[in-house]
Amino acid sequence: MKPRIFYTKPSITELEVEYATDAARNGWGERCYEYIARFEEAFKAHLGVEYAIATSSCTGALHIGMAALGVGPGDEVILADTNWIATAAPVVHLGAKPVFVDVLPDTWCIDPELAERAITPRTKAIVAVHLYGNLCDMDRLQAIGKKHNIPVIEDAAEAIGSVYRGQRAGSMGRFGSFSFHGSKTMTTGEGGMFVTNDATLYETALTLSNHGRVRGQTKQFWPDVVGFKYKMSNIQAAMGCAQIERIDDLVGRKREILQYYRAQLGQLPGVRMNPEPVGTVNGAWMPTVVFDAGTGVTREKLQQAFKAENVDARVFFNPLSSLPMFEDQTQNRHAWEIPGRAINLPSYNDMTLTEQDRVAEILVWSLKGA
C-alpha cells in the first residue's frame, strides 16, 4: 500500500509549542487573557481592521455578529446554497430563515444578481462566503447592500490570505468571521475570530460574547443581557500568536501548492480550478477541481480512484437546500450540479511534489477513463 496522502494537516513548529507551553505553564491569574489580547491585536494588524474578538469557532463569531446586528425571528438572511452548514446554523439558532440562492459557475460563490432578487422587506443581511479561498464579488454585493440598506457579512472562514482589490477577505463587510480549525491555513486547533470596523457593533458583540456582561460594568458577575460563551482559551490564542507571525509563509506555501496543481492540471480539457481574477489574490486554502459535465467524470468515480491510491478525497459541499432540515431549492442549478463532478485536492504545508504528482495522476487517469 502506498503511503497515505491526507487532504490537510496543520503546520506546527517549535514556535507554537513554545508559546502554548508558556500559556499552559504561566498563563493564569493576571496573565489569563494575555495571549488572547495579543492574538487579537496581531490579527487586527494583519487584516487592517479596528476591532477583533477571538472566539471558540467561526460559527460562534457568526452567531454573536448576527445577534449584534439584531437578526431574529421573522427575519431572512440571504446566502449561497453552496456552503457548509456552519454559515446557516446561526441564522436558524436566532430564529431567522436562511434564504439560499445559486452560485456563480466560475467562483462557486454567491451570485450577486440572484441575491438582490431574493431581497424582501424581511431581509436582515446578506452573507458573502469566500468559498475555498475564492472571492465573492464584493463590489457588487456592497453596492446592493448600500442600495437596500442591508448589511453584508463576510464569512472568511476559508479565506485567510485572500485579497480583493487591495483589501483582505473579511475586512470589507459590516463584520467578518474566520475559522482556525485544524484543517485551515492557520490554526488554533479549534477557534475563530470576529472582526469589524463598526465601533457600536463591536461593543454589542463584545457584550454578547462574554455572557452579556458590558465592558466596564463594576458589579461582579452582573450580566446586562443574556449573551453567549464563545471565548477562545489563552492556550489556543498562544498558538494563534505563533501562527499569525508565520502567516505570510503559511499562505505563500498554500499558493505554491495551488499553482503547481494548476500547472499540472490547468491545460486538461474540461477541467476548472480555483480562479484568481485580475486584482485579486486567492489564499488557496482548498485547491478544487470541477470537471465539465461532458467529461463524464463523477464524484463517485473520483472517490473510488482516490481510495484505490490511498489518497484522501474530500467532496465539494452539497447544496444546503438538499439537507433534510431545509426545503429543496433545485432551481439553484450550479449549486446542485457542481458537487457531482468536483473534488477538493489534498493540500498541506509539507506536501511534496511527488505527492502532488500522485494526486494529479489520479485526475488524469479519471479523465481518460471516463
- The pLDDT of 215-232, averaged and rounded, is 94
* CA nearest neighbour of 302 among 275, 311, 320: 311
* pLDDT confidence of residue 24: 98
Residue 154: band (very low, low, confident or very high) from pLDDT cuts 50, 70, 90: very high
Contact between 357 and 343 (Cβ < 8 Å)? no
Q: What fold, for 14-245? A: Aspartate Aminotransferase; domain 2 (3.40.640)
Architecture of domain 247-369: Alpha-Beta Complex (3.90)
- The yes-or-no verdict on residue 202 having pLDDT over 80 is yes
Using pLDDT thresholds of 50, 70 and 90, give the confidence band for residue 267: confident
- 39 and 55 in contact (C-beta within 8 Å)? no
Radius of gyration of the chain (CA): 21
CA–CA separation, 370 vs 236, rounded Å? 46
**Does residue 215 carry a pLDDT above 70?**
yes
Q: Mean pLDDT across the stretch 150-166? A: 98
Tens digit of each residue's pLDDT (9 = 90 or more) over 97-122:
999 999 999 999 999 999 999 999 99
Positive or negative torsion for Cα 181, 182, 184, 186: positive
Q: Cell 463576510 sits at which residue?
A: 154
Contacts of 240 (CB under 8 A, 6+ apart): 35, 39, 43, 54, 180, 186, 188, 191, 232
Residue 131 pLDDT more than 70?
yes
Contact 188, 205 (CB under 8 A): no
In the chain, CATH 3.90.1150.10 sits at 247-369
Angle at 180 between CA 338 and CA 23, to 5 degrees: 170
Q: Which three cell numbers stand for residue 119?
A: 431581497
pTM: 0.96
CA separation for the pair 50, 110 (Å, rounded): 27
CATH 3.40.640.10 positions along the chain are 14-245
Q: Cell triple for residue 114?
A: 440572484
pLDDT at residue 257, rounded to an integer: 98
Single-letter amino acid code for the residue at 80? A
pLDDT confidence tier of residue 362, bands split at 50, 70 and 90: very high
* Res. 211 pLDDT band, cuts 50 70 90: very high
What's the pLDDT score for residue 266?
86
Contact 72, 209 (CB under 8 A): no
Provide the edge-to-edge strand list for the sheet that holds 97-101.
51-55, 192-196, 175-179, 152-155, 123-129, 76-80, 97-101
State the maximum Cα–Cα separation within the chain, in Å, rounded to a whole number: 70
The one-letter amino acid at 345: L
pLDDT digits (tens, 9 = 90+) for 29-87: 999 999 999 999 999 999 999 999 999 999 999 999 999 999 999 999 999 999 999 99
The residues, ordered by sequence, that sit 6+ positions from 40 with a Cβ below 8 Å of its Cβ are 52, 53, 54, 193, 237
The pLDDT of residue 370 is above 70: no
Q: In 10 A of CB 181, how many CB atoms?
A: 18
Residue 313: which pLDDT band, with cuts at 50, 70 and 90?
Answer: confident
Distance CA 272, CA 14 (A): 38
Question: Any idea which residue has 514556535 for its cell?
Answer: 15
- pLDDT given at position 3: 95
Mean residue pLDDT of the chain comes to: 97
pLDDT category of residue 354 using cuts at 50, 70 and 90: very high
DSSP-based helix, strand, coil % in the chain, nearest 5: 40, 15, 40
367-131-60 Cα angle (round to 5)? 140
Among the ranges given (69-73, 167-171, 202-206, 212-216), the one the predictor scored with the smallest mean pLDDT: 212-216
